[in-house]
Structure 1
């Protein structure tokens, strides 16, 4: 009898084991094993600045390059979870891929590319010394416990040096004249703040945003005939610094306000440049030499001065099918700090030029146009015209294209319009749209 009871107990345990096993398989599916937040995983991270099949102008290739890259990863309570540095000076420099060991959970990835393109960094533009981004730049393993950096630190970073295009070829190298000159674009500071859930065998794709805006100029003429038309351009109300991580609100100090008159010590003070005398503190986009032209005109005495203004030729004719409709000159882009301010006339339906200086802290241009006879060496003795063009509010990663039609019909008139397009997140491209 005892033996039968013992066999029954073994049988019962066996049936229970089979039942629990069947139940376990019945409740299981093919999904990956769920792990609690905090489990360390290898995460593949990809940063790409060029969409597949996208064409890039050769002279603008540097705008797409990543030569150095830092990444800081923070938890939702702002604890530093990971750091990585990449030297990407070889290869196509448009793609960066690496892996990081990170705990599972929701994290925020702060990425900084081409930090040196921003010059010295500061926290909210304060202090006399530059802020050095923490973390090694070689293969040395970093102790995250001793790496002092916070999201607030990164989002407060400012820079006061704007990237600038570099002369490449063409034109007269020792002349103010931009006709025929070609430039190559600089490397640009780029950043990203991106929050994502880190999962086992997961990946993270980062889209970068440029920390600066850029501006291009296009000119055409009509009614000019064989006359030579030159011009100059000067930019005002330029902020003194910008934020590396673009933000929605700005309190930048506005610099490059147009001066009422040139400072008396402009020629001895190293902080002053020629623009303080001639363009009254404007940032030189196209230097026409104006206003050196004389107040009065004679047949011979002012010829040399007038010929000195014969630069920056407009050859395009909007009504001549044998010529290009618009001419890109200078053949380079200009990079801007964000300026959310607006000045008089900055509504899109009110894009007009005026002889009156705009009021406000928004960007505006002074455009100078000259007529100089039948060719580049001729002197028409026609005093140049001055126009002011208010610009729209500018955000980081905007592309501002400015088109102007110069008309000669007894006197010079200028009809401008501008087009501003914003960077849209998504995809793999980081172009200025």
Structure 2
């Protein structure tokens, strides 16, 4: 989804600001500090913020077995309805697989949320990389396979298809789909465990990342959206420590508005104890396939994610989709290649948002500046007159 969301301010700045600004000022500083823009503004699928580069936006990553093959589906460009051609030449679409970093499946809670535990997350690396470049008409320009055998047996599809995400906002919309049927013989013999993630880059600069579905759609994860998986756990731990300190300070204050700011911070941005995992997809053949163990096309990931603590998209699906909540795709998937439903007809793109709030923001700042200037001038004149009065008394 992200990117772009809310960077925690440094603790030194907070400690200096709190005594001067008071609790209300601290709350403002928290919101401003956490609102620092991120280098990129994209995330997988239903990110509630606007995207500045939809062609780079990853929407889905699927990985599941089918007989003697593994099915890999990588989708980009959410809410697509415009006709071809698209500007795809600058983009690299990559899927990475780590086949050797060890996994554990002993922790039931982590397995339910993430499919398994990466035992040495700072050693996550790509043993396999599939790099795709597309023509503007969504035909294949090039595909390179690193770390795979029998690549001549890989079956591929590239085109526009129905968006397979079970979420009302993206019903009757399309995506650019990259589908691969990879024989198991392409992987090392007796390969049981997989760690996967996908990225998009424009002109060599990484823009978007996807691992476990829905993860970076949540506001608190936007800051890891362009980090390599091996670096994410350390960054998550550092961010959690900062936000916990801010939350504890505000929540222990006597003013009600400070406590309210703490509650808002907790709901939107504060990292949970169970968040301290790298953003990757785990798949193993030791257990039945299905989210979060890989991902099937039919998985209702919104409900499954909500069952273990993250319900933002569940609420949005009720708000935008009504009752009962949709639990299947708006078009049935097919048993035939390439499995995704046929695309929706091309449409003229809806006009972009017509108005901007920036003029009102500028006006508000100007008014605030003028009021502050007037107050300072009044105080300055009062002080000057008070000083003159005092000296007249002293002279008398």
Q: TM-score, normalised by structure 1?
A: 0.23
Bigger radius of gyration: 1
Q: Choose between structure 1 and 2: higher helix proportion.
A: 2
Structure with more contact order per residue of length (Cα contacts < 8 Å, sep ≥ 6): 2
